Amino acid sequence: MRILIAAAGSRGDVAPYTGLGAELRRAGYDVALAATDTCAPFVRKAGLEFRSLPADTRARGGVTGKRDLMRAAAAFVSELGQGFADAMGDGVDLLLLSATTAPLGWHLTEATGTPSLGVYLQPTAPTGDFPPVVTGTRSLGRLVNRATGRFALRMADRVYEQAVARLRHRLDLPPTSPSEMRRRQEQARWPVLHGFSPALVPRPSDWRSGLEVVGNWWPHHDADERLPADLEDFLHAGPRPVLIGFGSMASGDGERLSEIAVRALRRAGLRGILQAGSAQLAADGDDVFTIGDVPHALLFPRLAAVVHHGGAGTSAAALRAGVPAVPVPVTADQPFWARRLAAFGAATDPIPFRSLTAERLADSLDRVVKQQVYSRAAARAAQHLQSEDGAGQVVKAVQQLTGG
């Protein structure tokens, strides 16, 4: 049986699906993962077939304003829609759709009759429990949370309007709007499995049936993979360091952020590792080391703390390793995850990216490393996550859906 997982975005938006795909492959399925071209190396490394989705995520790394983010998202989705049908090709028996690709994938399932299943990294369905994750706002009560959740979905549907119209025309389908298609899916109780821990975000009690929270899907890495030798040398050369990185965020801001990071580390008396990322962080010195991409699962358990942008994947990886965090959210769903970490006790209060200074970062680092309450909460979270099998839950759902 042939399964196509369709995910789109930066590395953090796609990497969890490599672990999910590898688990499905071990269960006997033939799995391909469709994503943007920058993801091809780590998709193939996981033993999955790679299919190209024609969109460029790199420009989004420097976008922080909500209006600019909407414009960048619309341009990204417009590119994405152009090649989505090509990526699907022939002979797909089941389509697994991320939150980004589902509003396009639904039309492919209509045209081909291929069954589909949602595999989301964020909770997108409206709920009274919390405000929509993409707005970055605080809770204003259950009624307002639900209302703003519905509004956020309407705004998302507007982003997809042009891409959907073009895709349906290409597929010889009658015109329909993204919002109408979303209503159809809701009425049909289209199943969505959410790949994050219920310890961090419990399943809302007001969600409809078919929406489940199953636990994280972890990026694939080979069992025999090791950290680079020079990084191992640095780790062995002194006390546990702090990792500072912003993933695909803060493009073009590397020099300023590197200076802030180094000043904060030295002010707090800590050793540090800077992860270059899109910002191109870099620094030299006996107490600071610069790295590129390395598996979080291998590095994070060796750290004293992690300073990160609050992306869903990095937030989960720190919890899995039992390591406390200082979140510095930039945009989109990052403030949501940052507040969740702080509420759980495994992170300091978030420092908004625009408010980041060496002094504020040093103060937060001093607290998160020296006050045991943070590391104890992170250790409790790690125990929760170890008992979960998010990928296994998806395999069971696929078996139930397909009868095999």
- Residue identified by tokens 């309007």 is 161
Q: Indicate whether 325 pLDDT > 80.
A: yes
- Residue 402 CA, chain-centre distance (Å), reads 27
The pLDDT tens digits of the residues spanning 52-63 come to 988 665 544 444
Please state whether beta strands 325-327 and 305-308 pair in parallel, antiparallel, or not at all (unpaired). Answer: parallel
In this prediction, residue 59 carries a pLDDT of: 47
| pTM summary value | 0.92
The pLDDT tens digits of the residues spanning 2-38 come to 999 999 888 888 999 999 999 999 999 999 999 999 9
In this prediction, residue 61 carries a pLDDT of: 45
In this prediction, residue 228 carries a pLDDT of: 95
The pLDDT tens digits of the residues spanning 171-228 come to 999 999 999 999 999 999 999 999 999 999 999 999 999 999 999 999 998 888 999 9
The pLDDT tens digits of the residues spanning 68-120 come to 666 777 777 877 877 788 888 778 999 999 999 999 999 999 999 999 999 99
Distance CA 299, CA 227 (A): 7
The 10 Å Cβ neighbour count of residue 138 is 11
Q: For residue 323, what are its two tokens?
A: 């390591």
Mean pLDDT of the region 231-236: 96
- Total length of the chain: 404
- Residue identified by tokens 């107490």 is 287
**What DSSP state is assigned to residue 296?**
H
CA neighbor of 307 nearest in space, from 373, 360, 344, 256: 360
Distance CA 32, CA 25 (A): 9
Q: Cα torsion at 43, 44, 47, 49 (round to 10°)?
A: 90
